[in-house]
Structure 1
Amino acid sequence: MSISVTRDLSQPLGHVVHVRDHQFVTDGSIEEGGTDSGPSPHDLYDAALASCKAMTLVWYAGRKGIPLRDVKVDVVRDASAERQGVYKLATVLHLGGDLTEAQRQELLTVAGKCPVHKLMTTVTTEITTALA
């Protein structure tokens, strides 16, 4: 799969992201010199974790017959030590449905095993950058 990002020349930092048949804007915050017309790359990184946890829970509950009706995942970022190599994301799961405490705990465990969580915490990512 290929993702492409192109510059939006009408914005100081704005870009358009192309993923399959989808397009969305990414931008820096006003404090970063952007116009805040879309999420920043850090926002997208954090959102990838939250959406993966939510989708993983819905998929898992469906396969296991767990009556999960609704999911909301909140993420709070602490990037205060990012330059020292520590980027903290605290996630909180809001689970709706007629769930037992055992099912809630099972879903909590599953959320910690979503693919993006694993990518962020247990996988070595190798990145190459080349000129066209």
Structure 2
Amino acid sequence: MTIYLQRKPGAPLASTVNIRNHQFISDAPIADGGGDEGPSPHELYDAALGACKAVSLMWFAKKKGIAVDDIHTEVTSDDSQERAGVYKIHTKVVISGTFSDAEFAQLTAVAEKCPVHKLMTAVTTEVTTTVERAAP
């Protein structure tokens, strides 16, 4: 999968993000020199974790026939030690529905194993970057 981003004309830091058939703006807050036209890259990173937990839980519940009515996910981050190599993310997932204690235990286990959670904690991610000069 390829995600395309392009600087938004006239905006100091904003980019238009294109993912499949979806388009949105990513920007920095005004305090950081942006126009606050959309979530920042850090916010998108954190949101990916919350979204993955919610999607994984709903997928699992549907697959197993567990009666989940709603999922509310909150993601809180602490970047105060990021420059020292520690970035803390806390997720809180509230699940409503009619399910047993055993089913709730299964859902809890799934929340800890969503693919993005694994990417953030248990996988070595290799990033390569190519920078090219645009043709005149």
RMSD: 0.9
Name the CA distance, whole Å, in 2 between partners of 1:102 and 1:74.
24
Amino acid at match of 2:65: G
Instruction: Give the match for residue 43 of structure 1.
Output: 43
Instruction: Show the counterpart of 1:130.
Output: 130
Structure 1 residue 102: deviation in Å?
2.6
**In the comparison of the two structures, how many residue pairs are matched?**
132
TM-score by length of 2: 0.93
CA distance in 2, matches of 1:86, 1:97: 36
1:123 partner SS: coil
Counting only pairs closer than 5 Å after superposition, residues 97-112 of structure 1 correspond to structure 2 as 97-112=97-112
- For 2:111 and 2:43, the matched residues in 1 are separated by 19
Secondary structure (helix, strand or coil) at the match of 1:48 reads: helix
Tell me which residue corresponds to 1:9.
9
**CA–CA separation in structure 1 for the residues paired with 2:103 and 2:84:** 38
**1:20-60, Cα deviation, whole Å (9 max, x unpaired):** 11110000011111111100000000000000000000000
Q: Distance in 2 between matches of 1:11 and 1:101?
A: 51
Structure 1 unaligned spans of 5+ = none
Q: Secondary structure at the match of 2:107?
A: helix
Distance 1:52 1:58 in 2: 10
Letter in 1 for 2:23: Q
Deviations 1:88-125, CA, capped at 9 Å, x for gaps: 11000110111223322221111110000000000000
Local SS of the residue matching 2:80: coil
Q: CA deviation at 1:63?
A: 0.9
Percent identical residues: 50
Q: CA deviation at 1:69?
A: 1.0
SS in structure 2 opposite 1:60? helix
Please give the secondary structure, in 1, of the residue aligned with 2:32: coil
TM-score, with structure 1 as normaliser: 0.96
Q: Once superposed, which parts of structure 1, at least 4 consecutive aligned residues long, lie more than 6 Å away?
A: none
Q: CA deviation at 1:67?
A: 0.6
How much does 1:128 deviate?
0.6
